[in-house]
Amino acid sequence: MSLKTPNSKKPRNAKRDDVALPALGILGTLRWAWTQLTSMRTALFLLLLLAVAAVPGSLFPQRPINPAVVTQYLKDHADYGPILDKLQVFDVYSSVWFSAIYLLLFISLIGCVVPRAIAHWKAWRSKPPRTPARLSRLPVYGTLVVPAEQGLGSAVAAEQATALLKKRGYRVELRTPVGGDDSAGADVVKRGAGSADAGPAGSGGARRRNALASVGAERGYLKELGNLCFHGGLVGVLVSVAVGILFGYSGQRILVEGDTFVNTLVGYDQFNPGTDFQSSWLKPYSIKLDKFDVRYDRESPGKFGQPLDFTAHVTTKDSPESAAKDQDLKVNDPLSIGDTDLYLVGNGYAPVVTVRGGDGKIAYQGPIPAQTMDTVYTSTIVIKAPDAKPTQLGFVGFFLPTAVKGQDGVSFSADPDPLNPQLSLNSYVGDLGLDKGTPQNVYALDVSKLKQVNGRDLPAKGIVLSAGQSYSLPDGQGSISFDGLKRYVGLDIHHNPGQTWALGFALFSLAGLIASLFVPRRRLWVRFGDHEDGRTMVEYGLLARGEDHGLAGEGRAVRELLTKAWGLPEDAADNTSQSTSGKGL
């Protein structure tokens, strides 16, 4: 039989019905969620998650940039393409999940920065901490003795030390105890300090002195300020990027020599507006391509024919009323017109052709940009003449800048310069499908519903034209002539009202990061006491926030500063230590 006493312990698995667990409640849950969201750990996690979320944007084609490629991708991957489309993989940067991460990161950073900024502001305006009772316990500690012959006194020495530390960048407060009972100074009364404090007679009475003043000093508040600037700069970068996405735009244009591009919606080959961009905001500047020069390497062995320089000579006007300006556009050297940047991203040849229908009338006349395929500018070309009568005409083939016939009888380009330009074409007749209003790729021709007239395997053979030559299609269906050759450039046009701000905030954030990493946070206290024999006794101690390998050097610098100010010898009381143990004055 066992007896139970009041102190008997209950089994660990016993039910505690007598314990009432407090309910968190809706308000408490929201407060807990806000605390978790605004923690620095969450902000860093969201920043990493944002970088990961941006990866699909580089792996899959994006609809705002090239919708035709997205459409073709969906056709080629009919099994899982629609699933990816529902997950907004082809619209990553405007998707719900990417926007959610972006907004949460924005809120988290603001929630981190604002409370810390308020706390830092209060700390900056507050007084330095009270002088510790035992300075000898600080990591860096030292003492000085000012001889009686100096006639300095603790009050004057404290004032001088205050001025010196202010010049050194410390935020300083001079503390003079009232009635000798100040906790920051009274502790030094009646304490011994070894040789630095020994009176000439060695008696206990000779070692007594009064603590009259102390100085509290702090420096390194720029460390926390830099940390706040770093995170505030990140918020600024996020806002600037959001402004660019909302109110900016981008577009592409192929510009042939002699043509002019005017900044209007109809002037773009492809236009991608921001979410809230209005077409009325387009500034009507213009740019005309006068000439495009390419310089090739003609001397280096093994590098013959490689391009050395691309220069587009253009004439720009900031507005219809402004004066024209001659400027040059180069690779990696964009041209800025107002807030818009124009980049040179491609170039090629544009053969000038004239297409006539079976009725002899001109169905098309002008340059046709050809898509470059290799370094010698072998190019594919597509010509569409929907206005040809009585049947629409289409041509598909190659353009060779320097045509040379190989041993197999097939021509190829031997040089990127137009030394022997040649067009090799196949011709088609029928409905090109342009009258239905369905968008088509200008660099592709769907020949599935067309009748081929010319080709290598047909009796009429293919069409081969040199500059100045023409060819008549069989059965009087029309003709085509190769009239000349021009060059074209591919322009990538970007207008981002937030990019300058983003750069400024990024530099601001970088400066804050450097300050937070390299500015040390230090505290310094200096205590003064008058000895009965007339000497002024000084002890000082330094403390760092975190690791500071330069704290000992700062202690030596402070000692040197004080000894020079008071005219003491360099070896006066040179007992600065880095020990956490010692004796006070």
Contact 167, 173 (CB under 8 A): no
**In this model, does residue 221 exceed pLDDT 90?**
no
**In this model, does residue 207 exceed pLDDT 70?**
no
| Tokens standing for residue 13 | 């698995």
Q: What percent of the chain has pLDDT over 90?
A: 45
Q: Which residues contact 512 (CB under 8 A, 6 or more apart)?
A: 225, 226, 227, 228, 229, 230, 231, 232, 233
Residue 123: half-sphere exposure toward Cβ, Cα within 13 Å:
16
Query: If you average pLDDT over each of 40-44, 45-49, 352-356, which comes out highest?
Result: 352-356
Contact 526, 538 (CB under 8 A): yes
Q: How far apart are CA 368 and CA 405, in angstroms?
A: 24
pLDDT band of residue 400 (cuts 50, 70, 90) is very high
Give the burial string for 556-582 (b: 16+ CB within 10 Å, else e).
eebbeebbeebebeeebbeebbeeeeb
Residue 13 has a pLDDT of 53
| Tokens standing for residue 496 | 């981002």
**In this model, does residue 186 exceed pLDDT 80?**
no
Q: Which residues contact 422 (CB under 8 A, 6 or more apart)?
A: 399, 400, 403, 411, 464, 465, 466
Q: What percent of the chain has pLDDT over 70?
A: 87
Q: How far apart are CA 187 and CA 584, in angstroms?
A: 9
**Cα dihedral sign, 453-456-460-463:** positive
Residue 12 has a pLDDT of 56
**In this model, does residue 510 exceed pLDDT 90?**
yes
Which one-letter DSSP state was computed for residue 580? Answer: S
For 487-502, what is each residue's pLDDT tens digit?
999 999 999 999 889 9
The whole-angstrom distance between residue 52's C-alpha and the CA centroid of its chain comes to 16
Residue 10 has a pLDDT of 52
Q: How far apart are CA 536 and CA 4, in angstroms?
A: 71
> What is the residue type of 417?
D
pLDDT band of residue 195 (cuts 50, 70, 90) is very low
Mean pLDDT of the chain: 84
Query: If you average pLDDT over each of 2-6, 182-186, 194-198, 294-298, which comes out highest?
Result: 294-298
Question: N- to C-terminal Cα distance for the chain?
Answer: 69
pLDDT band of residue 306 (cuts 50, 70, 90) is confident
Determine if the peptide bond prior to 390 is cis (ω within 30°).
yes
Query: If you average pLDDT over each of 14-28, 53-67, 290-304, 505-519, which comes out highest?
Result: 505-519
| Tokens standing for residue 487 | 């060059």
Cα distances from 318 to residues 269, 285, 286, 331, in angstroms, run 21, 5, 7, 22
For 321-363, what is each residue's pLDDT tens digit?
889 999 999 998 999 998 899 999 999 999 999 999 999 999 9
**Cα dihedral sign, 158-164-170-172:** positive
Q: In what order do the strands lie in the sheet with 209-219?
A: 140-146, 536-544, 522-531, 209-219, 171-175
- Average pLDDT over every residue of 188-200: 36
The burial class, CB within 10 Å (0-12 / 13-18 / 19+), for 517 is: exposed
| Tokens standing for residue 343 | 């980049």
Residue 428 has a pLDDT of 95
Which one-letter DSSP state was computed for residue 577? Answer: B
Q: How far apart are CA 68 and CA 76, in angstroms?
A: 12
Contact 224, 510 (CB under 8 A): no
- Average pLDDT over every residue of 234-262: 90
Complete DSSP assignment for 251-317: EEEEEETT-EEESSGGG-SEEEE-TT--GGG----EEEEEEEEEEE--SSTT-TT-EEEEEEEEEEE
Q: How far apart are CA 375 and CA 555, in angstroms?
A: 66
The whole-angstrom distance between residue 172's C-alpha and the CA centroid of its chain comes to 39
- Average pLDDT over every residue of 133-153: 89
**In this model, does residue 99 exceed pLDDT 50?**
yes
**In this model, does residue 577 exceed pLDDT 70?**
no
Complete DSSP assignment for 385-415: ETT-SSS-EEEEEEEESBEEE-TTS-EEE--
Q: How far apart are CA 227 and CA 409, in angstroms?
A: 71
Helix (H, G, I), strand (E, B) or coil at 423: strand
| Tokens standing for residue 287 | 């740019």
Residue 572 has a pLDDT of 60
Strand partners, 293: 311
Of 257, 246, 315, 317, which is closest to residue 102 (Cα–Cα)?
246
| Tokens standing for residue 314 | 């253009």
- Average pLDDT over every residue of 410-421: 91
Model pTM?
0.68
